[in-house]
């Protein structure tokens, strides 16, 4: 298509790889698609603090505890960058949180799994954040300016997360037989849910059409999943971990790994709210949102008081 044939300034910008900014005119469906995607991304960062927070008091050393605290603080920060990006689309923070509490907005499925041992903290950093990075690097090229800028900032910070996770796994794999077993067990439990993070196969992905047309999404679920598998298999091998997929095999033709079937039944069950921790995650968020209400009210009251004094 030639640029001149495109009707709206919006289409012309998308075609020319220019970013769409908050005050540009945009199709309503584009705006709603972004609100859904960015808010789900923001909620994931915030809910993702819970499984990690579970291990702050039991981190095996002061060093590990400091690092974990810093990482959790980063996740909270990432949530805030993303909420701000969503707000530029004309939705308030109050509405975004309400949608989460009413179950109208979702968060990443992965955080509905429990963190049973310290090795799970390693597996989350290495695999879950590793998968998130693959996805977020691709999203740096997304067509909506504020979302793209948030992705650049987040990617810069995430690589520490992945490396600290991999370091935990590597350390445990050099430890006692029991520690090695613990690391392998975490690997076994987090591998498949990490692959599911990229979403359904391209042949079965309900939101992809518009997202590609508008350049919100730049790479398909399967492409990103493949990228993640190909780089992670080697890292597992280096520290002596086994990928829990007997069908995993190098494919010379495509220069990538083939993998066994993903259990989409489990994926659907967890999305539908039947994962091991769905209820706990939401109740925790609602509880602390209410517990913080008086702080917000006090801050507002202080603002009113100051403005009458000035």
Partner 1 sequence: MDTQLDLWEVFIQGKSGGQFMHAGSVHASDKEMALKYARDLYTRRNEGSAIWVVLSTHIVASLPEDAEMFFDPANDKIYRHPTFYTMPEGALQI
Binding residue (CB under 8 A) for partner 1 from 119, 150, 173, 277:
150
User: How far is Cα 258 from Cα 189, in angstroms, rounded to an integer?
Assistant: 20
Q: Which C-beta is closer to partner 1: that of 283 or that of 300? A: 300
Q: Is the dihedral of CA 208, 210, 212, 218 positive or negative?
A: negative
Residue the block writes with tokens 């993640």: 228
Does residue 297 touch partner 1 according to CB under 8 A?
yes
Binds partner 1 (CB under 8 A): choice among 93, 201, 231, 279: 93
Query: Which residue's CB is nearer to partner 1, number 155 or number 271?
Result: 155
Q: Does 144 bind partner 1 (CB under 8 A)?
A: no
Going from the C-alpha of 158 to that of each of 60, 76, 171, 301, the distances in angstroms are: 22, 12, 20, 37
Pick from 271, 235, 283, 226: nearest CA to 110: 271
Considering the complex, state which of residue 272 and residue 306 has its C-beta at the smaller distance from partner 1. Answer: 306
Binding segment for partner 1 among 67-75, 164-172, 203-211, 234-242 (CB under 8 A)?
67-75
Tokens of 263: 């259990």
| Interface segment toward partner 1; rule CB under 8 A; list 40-48, 121-129, 145-153, 250-258 | 145-153
3-state helix, strand, coil in the chain (%, to 5): 70, 5, 30
Work out which of 6, 72, 80, 116 binds partner 1, going by CB under 8 A.
Answer: 80
| Contact call for residue 77 and partner 1 (CB under 8 A) | yes
Binding flag, residue 23, partner 1 (CB under 8 A): yes
Q: How far apart are CA 111 and CA 52, in angstroms?
A: 10
Rounded CA gap, 183 and 200, in Å? 27
Report residue 64 as tokens: 């590990």
Residue with smaller CB distance to partner 1, 113 or 144? 144
Q: Is 174 helix (H, G, I), strand (E, B) or coil?
A: coil
149 binding partner 1? (CB under 8 A): yes
Cα-based angle 62, 65, 68 (whole degrees, multiple of 5): 150
The alpha carbon of 183 is separated from its chain's Cα centroid by a whole number of angstroms, namely 22
Determine, following the binding rule CB under 8 A, whether residue 17 of this chain makes contact with partner 1: no
Q: What is the rounded radius of gyration, in angstroms, for the C-alpha atoms of the chain?
A: 21
Q: Select 272 or 299, whichever has its Cβ closest to partner 1.
A: 299
Which lies closer to partner 1 via its Cβ, residue 97 or residue 137? 97
Residue 251 parent element (H or E): strand 249-251
Q: Which of residues 225-254 bind partner 1 (CB under 8 A)?
A: none
Site string for partner 1, 250-289 (x = CB under 8 A): ----------------------------------------
204 counts as binding partner 1 under rule CB under 8 A: no
Cβ proximity to partner 1: between 52 and 87 the closer is: 87
User: Can you give the binding site for partner 1, defined by CB under 8 A?
Assistant: 9, 21, 23-25, 70, 73-74, 77, 80-81, 84, 87, 92-94, 97-98, 149-150, 153, 157, 293, 296-297, 299-300, 302-303, 306
């Amino acid at each position: 298509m030639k640029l001149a044939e495109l009707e709206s300034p919006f289409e012309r910008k998308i075609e020319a790889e220019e970013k769409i900014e908050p005050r540009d005119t945009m199709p309503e469906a584009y705006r709603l698609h972004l609100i859904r995607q960015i808010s789900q991304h923001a909620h994931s960062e915030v809910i993702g603090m819970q499984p990690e927070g579970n291990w702050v008091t039991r981190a095996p050393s002061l060093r590990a505890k400091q690092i974990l605290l810093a990482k959790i603080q980063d996740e909270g920060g990432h949530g805030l960058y993303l909420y701000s990006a969503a707000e530029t689309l004309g939705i308030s923070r109050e509405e975004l949180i309400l949608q989460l509490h009413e179950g109208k907005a979702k968060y990443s499925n992965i955080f509905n799994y429990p963190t049973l041992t310290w090795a799970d903290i390693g597996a989350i950093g290495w695999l879950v954040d590793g998968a998130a990075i693959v996805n977020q690097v691709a999203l740096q090229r997304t067509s909506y300016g504020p979302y793209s800028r948030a992705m650049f900032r987040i990617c810069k910070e995430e690589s520490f997360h992945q490396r600290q996770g991999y370091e935990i796994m590597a350390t445990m794999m050099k430890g006692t037989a029991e520690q090695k077993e613990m690391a392998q067990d975490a690997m076994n439990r987090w591998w498949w849910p990490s692959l599911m993070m990229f979403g359904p196969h391209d042949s079965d992905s309900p939101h992809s059409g518009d997202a590609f047309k508008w350049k919100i999404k730049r790479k398909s679920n399967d492409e990103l999943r493949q990228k993640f598998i190909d780089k992670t298999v080697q890292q597992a091998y280096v520290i002596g971990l086994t990928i829990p997929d007997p069908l995993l095999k190098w494919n010379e033709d495509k220069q990538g790994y083939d993998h066994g079937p993903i259990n989409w039944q489990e994926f659907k069950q967890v999305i539908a709210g039947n994962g091991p921790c769905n209820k706990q995650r939401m109740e925790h968020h609602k509880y602390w949102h209410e517990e913080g209400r008086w702080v917000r009210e006090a801050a507002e009251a202080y603002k009113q008081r100051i403005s009458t004094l000035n």
